Amino acid sequence: MTAHRRVGDALNAALGTLLAEDPALYLLGEDIADPYGGAFGITRGLSTRFPRQVITTPISEAGIVGVANGLALAGDKAIVEMMFADFVALAFDQIVNFAAKSTTMYGHPVPMPVVVRCPTGGNRGYGPTHSQSPQKHFIGVPGLDVYELSPLHDPVALLRELLGSGRPSLLFEDKTLYAAPLRPDDLFRVTHHGFTAHVRVDDDIPADDYLIVAPGGLTGRATVAMRSLLLRYELSGRLLVPARLHPLDLDPLLEAATSTSRVVVVEDGPPGAAWGTEVAYRLQRALWGTSSGPVRLCQAADGVIPTAAHLEREVLVQAETIVRAVLEAHR
């Protein structure tokens, strides 16, 4: 992992590793073949190395997830690349009604090793239909797991976990991560408790001023916020990044939350029945009656994501949005 400079390179290498070690694994998606290698270049080189397993497809999001589901039923495994996460709406039926339900609706377990990779998020100026973070539409679907890529989690271990669980899953990947460094900031130390990454300054400095809980795509912005909070406001806290957003393992979050009275859950999607709302509710319920203050939410604005850079910035969560949310928690 450390041999790769960027998250996108590490993800590309991870896909190659998995295709090499498992001939039953297929990779499907639009424009993923060489020399193009996918809209973000994440599959570059793979169709050349694994011509049988890597299949570039027509523009048919529902159809290709259906093909992946069929491969899984036949005993294979499949990773599908959505060109943009917004387009996963077109495959909702295959994911929710077929893949997720099939794991249990036939009265006996049916393994469905299918991973749908979804490049999410904005800050790239792609506008309303190419920038969304649609995670919340897939939270709470029985039989379906939701993961998010981060610079803190080894993509090989992560993808092995997803493919090995027997349940279909979505892997949301914030596009800005592809060019991001694997370790966002040397000021902080990263440890792992299962698939939850912990970020904080060194152990000998207290880190109880706040707790930020964020999905992987916000790791960079959250650590920029933490640096600012430490250097400008002398506030030292922690960031927890769970790789699996749903079903969520609350224990590592709860452990960190009990040591501070200021918990902020951050996500880059709009408010309303969202992932952050679910996490905040579960944390709040568990913390009820303790000295921990109200769990706060820091979310994107309630609107479409504009194309113009200055308008887009106002809608999406930025590092300074997180700084403000933590400072507000301190009032």
Q: Rule CB under 8 A: choose which of 17, 31, 45, 110 binds another protein.
A: 110
Query: 109 or 293, CB closer to another protein?
Result: 109
Distance CA 247, CA 133 (A): 18
Q: How far is the CB of 7 from another protein (least distance, A)?
A: 30
Query: 35 or 75, CB closer to another protein?
Result: 75
Strand runs labelled E in the chain: 25-30, 54-57, 77-81, 114-120, 145-148, 169-174, 189-193, 196-200, 211-213, 238-242, 244-246, 263-266, 296-298
CB 262 within 8 A of CB 326: yes
- Interface stretch with another protein, choices 13-21, 92-100, 170-178, 239-247 (CB under 8 A): 92-100
Distance CA 44, CA 8 (A): 10
Using CB under 8 A as the binding rule, whether residue 57 contacts another protein is answered as: yes
Using CB under 8 A as the binding rule, whether residue 98 contacts another protein is answered as: yes
Using CB under 8 A as the binding rule, whether residue 143 contacts another protein is answered as: no
> Residues 108, 130, 198, 330: which is the catalytic one?
130
Q: Is 113 exposed, middle or buried (0-12, 13-18, 19+ CB in 10 A)?
A: buried
Using CB under 8 A as the binding rule, whether residue 286 contacts another protein is answered as: no
Q: Rule CB under 8 A: choose which of 12, 43, 102, 196 binds another protein.
A: 102
130 labelled catalytic: yes
| Side-chain-facing half-sphere of 118: CA atoms under 13 Å | 32
Q: Tell me how many residues contact another protein (CB under 8 A).
A: 32
Q: Rule CB under 8 A: choose which of 17, 34, 36, 70 binds another protein.
A: 70
Q: How far is the CB of 204 from another protein (least distance, A)?
A: 48
Using CB under 8 A as the binding rule, whether residue 89 contacts another protein is answered as: no
Give CA 331 to chain center in angstroms: 31
Using CB under 8 A as the binding rule, whether residue 73 contacts another protein is answered as: yes
CB 45 within 8 A of CB 16: yes
Kindly give the pairing relationship between strand 196-200 and strand 189-193: antiparallel
Closest CA to 111 of 169, 60, 159, 35: 169
Q: How far is the CB of 65 from another protein (least distance, A)?
A: 8
Binding site for another protein (CB under 8 A): 52, 57-58, 60, 62-76, 78, 93-94, 97-98, 101-102, 104-108, 110
Positions marked active-site: 130
